[in-house]
Structure 1
Amino acid sequence: MDPSTYKCYHVDGFDSRQHLENYMSDSPDMISEEDSVIFPIENLIKTFTEGYIKGDVLIDLSLGSIVHHLFAACEFFKHIVVLKMRDRCIMEMKRWVDERTGAFDWRHATILHVDVGENRDLLQDKEGKVRSALQHVLKCDLEKEDIMDPIVLPPADCVLSFVLLDAISKDQDDYMRYLRKFSSLLKPGGHIILIGGLDMTYYSIGKHKFRAFSYDEDFARKALAGEGFSIDRCEVQMRMDWNDHIDYKGMIFIAAHREK
């Protein structure tokens, strides 16, 4: 397929439920569980349990309607504010937060955070903590100078983003422009955590291909340094399985802080 015909996430949108089924489920046909579920969760648990990233407010800007990357954060932040560009993603996420019929089942991710043993109630307790913290799922407009205008958010202790920069940026300048908007949500000395796919040019949802900005570890490090961040943790995992649905070569996890 000609790359010029690829769709753009923030322009065209996609079926958020199909995205979850393809990339985040526990189905045997799931595309990349090791990379998209296990790798982020393990690194988030390590990072948060070290204790230097915590506070009152965490703001999440991530692709689609994912929740699993927020499970570790609920123990370290009083409030989690999720910002979405698409109404469909907000509806899908609120279905899980409100425990509505037909909500996506995240138990396979929850179990990575708790030692369940014979006590299945621990799963409900963990998901209940996430739901209690995650009471604000709001729409944003990343093309505005103030992406939340007219809503005023409190400055965040941490901004967390899963693959969204990859999906909305068309080149390096775009990536830096959006990164600057993400970081503007932080209080002085705040932290940012970025999780992305390396050398990715497209991903598929159903019959549609969506473009992705291709970058490497060196670019990601320099981008953060250029915005005044010091990197605290950087982990890279090369791709564990291969298929035609998506063409990334590895996953990157970066935690960084901005000097006060």
Structure 2
Amino acid sequence: MDSSPHKIYHVHGYDSRQALEDYFSDKTDMAFVEDSLIFPIENLTKTFTEGNIKGDVLIDISCSSFVHHLYSACEFFKHIIVLKVSDRCILELKRWLGTRTGAFDWGHATKLHGEIEGKSDQLQEKEGKVRSAIQRVVKCHPEKENMTDPIVLPPVDCIISFWLLVKISKDQDDYRRYLRKFSGLLKPGGHLILIGLLGMTYYTVGKDRLHAFPYDEDFARKALVGEGFVIDNCVIKKRTAVSDLIDYKAVMFIAAHKEK
């Protein structure tokens, strides 16, 4: 790696296809199957099938252009609105939504989800449901007071944020500020699901080395409570992946709801 300052995801962007290949693909040397695929699918499946989180509209505000975390959600929400901070990620996602030539193949994640959910006979139907549920893909501007400016979204029932806060937050104040903005997108009593990486200071995509905000479980819990959330469930999985692409120590799954 060179010694230049780390790039910042929502400022500089990155090669979205390379990120999928490095962290979410079915390549034999992809080291993060347990943490980026199995762990989120298992916890999201369990959380949604418990039946406490459901409604009309869900917002997904995650990094990159992955979709496997929405497979369970589409069974419990009529509409999904995807917010993306990167134009390249929007293009990559729309390529998959439109089943265009060259779209990233999520077949391995679909198969994993089918096995975990016990519905391996409904794989093609599952991808179709996700595509149908995603009603809009909207450009997101994290620094603006209204992150979807000029579009104003009505409050929604649930937000999922997967690996985004660790990449766009500069420090603790930033992290809390983004949580406050997430809260502003939720109805009273609405649910927030965070999937994060703990203790991470950098990650790499291709030749780019990018910034990450290192935080721990204790800080995440206190930040959520401080912004008016009640934590319903928290699962921490220690890292087992061996790779120098990224230096996180654990993966975190938190389900919380906004106090009324």
State the TM-score, normalized to the length of structure 1: 0.96
Q: 2:120 & 2:53 partners in 1: Cα distance?
A: 29
User: Does the residue aligned with 1:78 lie in a helix, a strand or coil?
Assistant: strand
Tell me by how many angstroms 1:186 deviates: 0.2
Matched, 1:57 2:47: no
Contact 2:191 2:257 in 1 (8 A): yes
Tell me by how many angstroms 1:149 deviates: 1.9
Q: C-alpha offsets along residues 28-58 of structure 1, whole Å, 9 cap, x if unaligned?
A: 1213110011100100000000001000000
> Which amino acid in 2 is paired with 1:32?
F
Q: 1:127 & 1:50 partners in 2: Cα distance?
A: 22
Equivalent position of 1:133 in the other structure: 133
Tell me by how many angstroms 1:89 deviates: 0.6
Could you tell me which runs of 5 or more consecutive residues in structure 1 were left unpaired when the two chains were aligned. none
Contact 2:114 2:121 in 1 (8 A): no
Q: 1:91 & 1:161 partners in 2: Cα distance?
A: 19
Q: C-alpha offsets along residues 94-149 of structure 1, whole Å, 9 cap, x if unaligned?
A: 11011111110111111122259xx9862110000000001211101111111112
Equivalent position of 1:98 in the other structure: 98
Equivalent position of 1:154 in the other structure: 154
> Which amino acid in 1 is paired with 2:148?
M
User: Does the residue aligned with 1:114 lie in a helix, a strand or coil?
Assistant: helix
Equivalent position of 1:244 in the other structure: 244
Q: Give the aligned length.
A: 258
Matched, 1:8 2:27: no
Tell me by how many angstroms 1:2 deviates: 7.4
Equivalent position of 1:85 in the other structure: 85
Equivalent position of 1:231 in the other structure: 231
Contact 1:7 1:208 in 2 (8 A): yes
> Which amino acid in 2 is paired with 1:109?
A
Matched, 1:30 2:48: no
Could you tell me which runs of 5 or more consecutive residues in structure 2 were left unpaired when the two chains were aligned. none
Contact 2:228 2:258 in 1 (8 A): yes
Q: 1:120 & 1:61 partners in 2: Cα distance?
A: 28
Equivalences for residues 109-120 of structure 1 within 5 A: 109-115=109-115
Equivalent position of 2:123 in the other structure: 123
Tell me by how many angstroms 1:4 deviates: 6.3
Q: 1:183 & 1:64 partners in 2: Cα distance?
A: 22
Matched, 1:184 2:184: yes
Contact 2:7 2:211 in 1 (8 A): yes
Equivalent position of 2:47 in the other structure: 47
Q: C-alpha offsets along residues 40-88 of structure 1, whole Å, 9 cap, x if unaligned?
A: 0100000000001000000011011011111110000000100011111
Q: 2:3 & 2:215 partners in 1: Cα distance?
A: 16
User: Percent identity between the aligned chains?
Assistant: 68
